[in-house]
Structures are given as structure tokens and as C-alpha cells.
């Protein structure tokens, strides 16, 4: 027991550091960048950007692209005015920041730290430099949350947008809009390895995450299939190539003439559907032409699926 525990800790220690030491890619759907404005001294409003993308290199150089046309002020006409007068139709703004990656890559899952980042906002030809204190939490082996520790304040004069703000005041007949803007960011990143390993289709992710079989044992089980199936892409025999079958839609491989039953089935080959099909091909999908009576042992099926997922 002790030995096993040791082995496990050791293994995770090896895995943990290099993974975070890789670059990171921004998870746009779960990230948020917002700024505040106060008009007439009293009315506070939050604006955000819905379209962000970004990457951090393994040396701790972060580059976030902000799609300025995705600004969301919750009022359409105001969005348009922001884009036209304040952002001057610049398309994108970029935010670059440098921080000490060594501090972050040491973090264990669940731990947090703060780092200082020397940052530059480039907006419509103007660069504004500022220091931002960032709060970093390691969420999992392969993801981190980076947020502003406090608000960061940017001056509209430094950002070169004062004329645009004047124009907004004039258009909306406002006596005043504050000239310093609080900014908050909540950014979630995944290490690049994970991104590379993640299949694009959501169904494939589900299937991929779940298969826990022994691929080596599965290779032996595949001997029962190999008379009719190859794993090489496009290599069809009596049966179709099983290249990339886990996560694929049934009966779609190019160059193989499937039965109508399989071709028109709309089945997505996940762990569940493949298991059911391989246990009883005829019973699961009547009318298909696979001359195979099925695998009787659950362990054989799960191991085979692990093999197909790894090698197919």
C-alpha cells in the first residue's frame, strides 16, 4: 500500500510540472474581460468583450486578442458608437503580459498564487503600459485560472480614447463620463498538450474520456476483427476501415459500400453504442451486413475499444 502510494505521488509529480510548463491556450467560452464606466458621476455600467482569444508561451509571455467589435454594453446603439468612436473600428486590440512562469508551473492542483505582470494594451495605434497583479489558481492538471487580483485602472487619456469618449458624451448628451476605467479579467487556460489531444467533436470527447480498457489486451481481441477490418485510413476489406471509429458517425467512411441499415442509422460510435453493437451486431442493428456473432465478454469489448481509440 505504502509503495503504491509512493509510486502514484511520484508519477503525478513527473506529470504535473512539464504539463504546466507547456504553453497555454485561452478557453474563450469560460473567460471574461470587462471594464466599468461611470456616467453623470452616479451611473455605473459594466461593458465586456464576448470574443477573446489568446495564448501564453512556456516562458510566460501572454498574448490576448480582444475582438473590439464584440463589445457588449447591453445597448446596441451604444455598442456601435463604442466601435466607431472609441475603438475607431480598430478590429482587435491586443493585451500582452509577461510574468514569471516558474512560479506558476510549481503550483499543485488547488493551490493559488499571485504574480506581477508587466502588461501592454495596444489599442488603435496607442500602447499603454501598466503593471497588473494577477491571481493564479491551478484548477486541474491541465488548466489554470488567471484573474486580476484587484481592478486595474486605465486612463482614457493614456489609452488615446479621450476624443472618442468626448464624442459619446456629446451624442448621448451626458454631462460627464469618468476618464479612468476599472478593468477586471477572469481567464481560463488549458495547457496545449490537452488541447492537442482533444478531439474536436463533443461526442468524441465523451467517448474518449470514458474508455478505461487495456489497449494492449485489446490488440489481441482485434485479431477477431482483422480478417475483415484494418485500422489504416481508407483501407477497406470485407469490412470498412475502422480508422477514427470512436466518435465517428456510423456508415460514413469514404469508399466503402455500407448497408442501408448502417449508412442511414445516425448512430454515433461512442463507448456505449460500440459496446452494444459489438456484443450483438445483428440484435443491435438489424439488417447490417457484418457477419460476426459478437463478443461475449465485457472486458474484451472495453479493452478492444481502448485499442481502437488509441490506435485507430
Binding residues (CB under 6 A) for ligand HEC: these are: 224-225, 227-229, 238-240, 242, 245, 250-251, 253, 258-259, 261-262, 269, 278, 288-292, 295, 304
Nearest CB to ligand HEC, comparing residues 26 and 305: 305
Least spacing, CB of residue 149 vs ligand HEC, in Å: 51
Q: How far apart are CA 248 and CA 269, in angstroms?
A: 6
Judged by DSSP in three states, 299 sits in helix
Assess contact for 233 and 275: CB atoms under 8 A.
no
Nearest CB to ligand HEC, comparing residues 144 and 225: 225
Nearest CB to ligand HEC, comparing residues 135 and 292: 292
Nearest CB to ligand HEC, comparing residues 23 and 281: 281
Least spacing, CB of residue 200 vs ligand HEC, in Å: 18
Provide DSSP, 205-271: HHHHHH----HHHHHHHGGGTTTTB--STT-BSSS---TT-TTPBTT--TT----HHHHTS--B--H
Least spacing, CB of residue 21 vs ligand HEC, in Å: 38
Nearest CB to ligand HEC, comparing residues 171 and 238: 238
DSSP designation for 214: -
Nearby residues of 69 by Cβ (< 8 Å), 6 or more positions away: 51, 83, 91
Least spacing, CB of residue 272 vs ligand HEC, in Å: 13
Least spacing, CB of residue 289 vs ligand HEC, in Å: 4
DSSP designation for 150: S
Amino acid at each position: 500500500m505504502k509503495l503504491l502510494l509512493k509510486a502514484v505521488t511520484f508519477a503525478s509529480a513527473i506529470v504535473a510540472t512539464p504539463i504546466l510548463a507547456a504553453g497555454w491556450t485561452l478557453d474563450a467560452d469560460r473567460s471574461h474581460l470587462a471594464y466599468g464606466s461611470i456616467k453623470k458621476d452616479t451611473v455605473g455600467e459594466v461593458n465586456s468583450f464576448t470574443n477573446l482569444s489568446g495564448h501564453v508561451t512556456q516562458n510566460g509571455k501572454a498574448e490576448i486578442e480582444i475582438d473590439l467589435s464584440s463589445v457588449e454594453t447591453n445597448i446596441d446603439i451604444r455598442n456601435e458608437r463604442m466601435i466607431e468612436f472609441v475603438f475607431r473600428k480598430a478590429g482587435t486590440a491586443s493585451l500582452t503580459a509577461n510574468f514569471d512562469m516558474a512560479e506558476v508551473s510549481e503550483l499543485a492542483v488547488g493551490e493559488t498564487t499571485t504574480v506581477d505582470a508587466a502588461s501592454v494594451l495596444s489599442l488603435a495605434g496607442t500602447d499603454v503600459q501598466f503593471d497588473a497583479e494577477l491571481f493564479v489558481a491551478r484548477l486541474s492538471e491541465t488548466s489554470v485560472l488567471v484573474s486580476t487580483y484587484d481592478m486595474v485602472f486605465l486612463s482614457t487619456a493614456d489609452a488615446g480614447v479621450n476624443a472618442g469618449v468626448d464624442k459619446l458624451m456629446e451624442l448621448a448628451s451626458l454631462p460627464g463620463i469618468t476618464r479612468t476605467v476599472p478593468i477586471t479579467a477572469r481567464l481560463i487556460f488549458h495547457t496545449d498538450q490537452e488541447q492537442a489531444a482533444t478531439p474536436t467533436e463533443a461526442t468524441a470527447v465523451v467517448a474518449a474520456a470514458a474508455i478505461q480498457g487495456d489497449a494492449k489486451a485489446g490488440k489481441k481481441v482485434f485479431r477477431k476483427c482483422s480478417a475483415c477490418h484494418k485500422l489504416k485510413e481508407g483501407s477497406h476489406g470485407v469490412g470498412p476501415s475502422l480508422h477514427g471509429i470512436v466518435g465517428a458517425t456510423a456508415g460514413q467512411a469514404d469508399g466503402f459500400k455500407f448497408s442501408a441499415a448502417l449508412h442511414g442509422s445516425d448512430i454515433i460510435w461512442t463507448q456505449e453504442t460500440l459496446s452494444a453493437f459489438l456484443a450483438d451486431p445483428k440484435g443491435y442493428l438489424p439488417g447490417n451486413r457484418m457477419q460476426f456473432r459478437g463478443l461475449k465478454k465485457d472486458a474484451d469489448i472495453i479493452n478492444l475499444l481502448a485499442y481502437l481509440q488509441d490506435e485507430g
